[in-house]
Amino acid sequence: MILPKISAAILSMATYGSAYAAADRQLCISFEQWVVMAGATNGAACVFGADLPDANLHRMTARQNFTRFADEHNLTLEEFDPLFERGVIEGQTLVKRRAAIIVPRHDHLLRGFHHDKVIDYAKIRHALTPG
């Protein structure tokens, strides 16, 4: 099942250069959904040729940033890996099913992925902090 918010994250990445740009276009994104969306961007980028070291760096950066955010906001992040993996599968599926929409913008998506693999925590905090 492809979640609409994952679709929004992938399309935001392809259009605006970061999955975290979805924050400006979506309301009520739960912390767990953010983790799934980060995984989805990872999976989508891998379909377009992102290599394993980059995919691993993206995952590590996401884990560090989400863990820090959880610690600072008294949230629990016990299930990062399963949520991220769910997102990877969703992202791969989305790209394969929506190729007509996403393939023409795959260069933008990959640039966004490379941006997000080293994204500064302050940008993540801003995206995840409501209102």
Higher pLDDT, 1 or 59: 59
Give the pLDDT of residue 44: 87
Q: What's the predicted TM-score (pTM) here?
A: 0.84
Residue 26 has pLDDT above 80, yes or no: no
pLDDT of residue 70: 93
pLDDT per residue over 80-114, tens digit each? Answer: 999 999 989 988 888 887 766 666 567 878 888 89
How far is residue 47 from each of residues 27, 44, 102, measured CA to CA in Å?
A: 28, 5, 11
pLDDT number for residue 80: 93
Q: Is 97 helix (H, G, I), strand (E, B) or coil?
A: helix
